[in-house]
């Protein structure tokens, strides 16, 4: 099987992920990148920073000659954007996305995909709490995972081409079916974000702790909750509404675990708490051993600042 190269890449939506794709692709020697965003201000910013070879004023112009089109918009907007883009895709093109929910995206986009175009959803497991075209950087995907979810009828050579593209950006690539993807992400991303939002909201509501104390005395745990809770609200609203079944399942399991810990604390069951924390500590060590984080202490975050 010959691997066909990706010639022109079109990015629809020019936020953090799209801008990081653009910088990473340029680092990898990608020949041509076009882009479009619904916001005139974002398009102007993208032009000013030289994000793409051409920033277009219509989605049709951005995708007309593209071999790979990546939808980089909130999952709730995928269907609407696909409807606007798909009539202008050339035969043989690959259509993909970067949404963190796959089942609802496939359902929303598939009806608009024309014959001769392969729709291959994808999800890079990378990001920061920042947004916008100026937030992206070339190393965002280095040693991070990108999950590819080929749809029915996808040509193997197209899947191979998309895999090679993401690998050229520094990502590790794996394939997964949509239902399993959404359950995995409910565990590793969606529910933790919801918990972070909740914890920050509790601190805001707890009037016995003043705003100045919350800010001044933020230790690592709460500080990291606030970093997660600073993520784009539109994106996360759409994620929870689009992946409600898996998220609710994991939330139910989380609630059961929380009640068990609550009971252990009330009853003074130190043995249960120690065993539980030992097991969860081992999971953290596994993440470090997999190269997905570092165990280097950085309590002040002085050396961890990223663009």
Domains in the chain, ordered, with CATH?
8-176 (3.40.50.720), 180-289 (1.10.3660.10)
pLDDT recorded at residue 251: 86
Checking if the pLDDT of 204 tops 90, the result is no
- Residue corresponding to tokens 């805001």: 204
Give kind and range of the element (H or E) at residue 148. strand 145-148
| Nearest to 136, CA basis, from 35, 5, 29 | 35
**Which residue has better confidence, 137 or 30?**
137
pLDDT recorded at residue 216: 65
pLDDT band, very low/low/confident/very high, at 185 (cuts 50, 70, 90): confident
Give how far Cα 185 sits from Cα of 203, 249, 250, 262, 302, Å.
26, 12, 10, 26, 30
Q: For residue range 3-31, what is the model confidence (pLDDT) as tens digits?
A: 455 789 999 999 999 999 999 999 998 87
Q: How many residues does the chain have?
A: 307
pLDDT recorded at residue 300: 47
Q: What proportion of the chain, given as a percentage, has pLDDT over 70? A: 86
pLDDT recorded at residue 218: 60
Predicted TM-score of the model (pTM)? 0.77
Q: Write the CB contacts of 127 (distance below 8 Å, at least 6 apart in sequence).
A: 16, 17, 140, 231
């Amino acid at each position: 099987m010959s691997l066909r190269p990706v010639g022109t890449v079109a990015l629809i939506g020019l936020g953090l992920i799209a801008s990081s794709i653009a910088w990473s692709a340029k680092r990898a020697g990608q020949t041509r990148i076009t882009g479009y965003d619904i916001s005139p201000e974002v398009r102007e910013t993208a032009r000013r920073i030289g994000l793409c070879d051409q920033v277009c004023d219509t989605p049709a112009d951005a995708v007309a000659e593209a071999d790979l089109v990546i939808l980089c918009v909130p999952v709730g907007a995928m269907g609407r954007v696909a409807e606007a883009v798909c009539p202008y895709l050339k035969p043989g093109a690959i259509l993909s996305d970067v949404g963190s929910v796959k089942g609802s995206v496939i359902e929303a986009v598939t009806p608009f995909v024309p014959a001769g175009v392969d729709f291959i959803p994808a999800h890079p497991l990378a990001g920061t709490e920042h947004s916008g075209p100026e937030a992206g950087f070339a190393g965002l995907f280095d040693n991070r995972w990108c999950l590819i979810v080929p749809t029915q009828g996808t040509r193997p050579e197209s899947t191979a081409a998309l895999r090679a593209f993401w690998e050229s950006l520094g990502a590790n690539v794996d394939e997964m079916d949509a239902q399993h993807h959404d359950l995995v992400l409910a565990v590793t991303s969606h529910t933790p974000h919801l918990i972070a939002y909740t914890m920050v909201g509790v601190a805001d509501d707890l009037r016995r702790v003043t705003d100045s104390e919350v800010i001044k005395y933020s230790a690592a745990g709460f500080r990291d909750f606030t970093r997660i809770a600073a993520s784009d609200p539109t994106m996360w609203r759409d994620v929870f509404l689009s992946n409600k079944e898996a998220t609710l399942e994991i939330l139910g399991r989380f609630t059961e675990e929380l009640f068990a810990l609550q009971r252990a604390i009330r009853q003074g069951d130190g043995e249960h708490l120690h065993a539980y924390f030992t097991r969860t500590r081992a999971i953290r060590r596994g993440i470090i051993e997999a190269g997905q984080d570092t165990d280097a202490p950085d309590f002040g975050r002085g050396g961890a600042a990223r663009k």
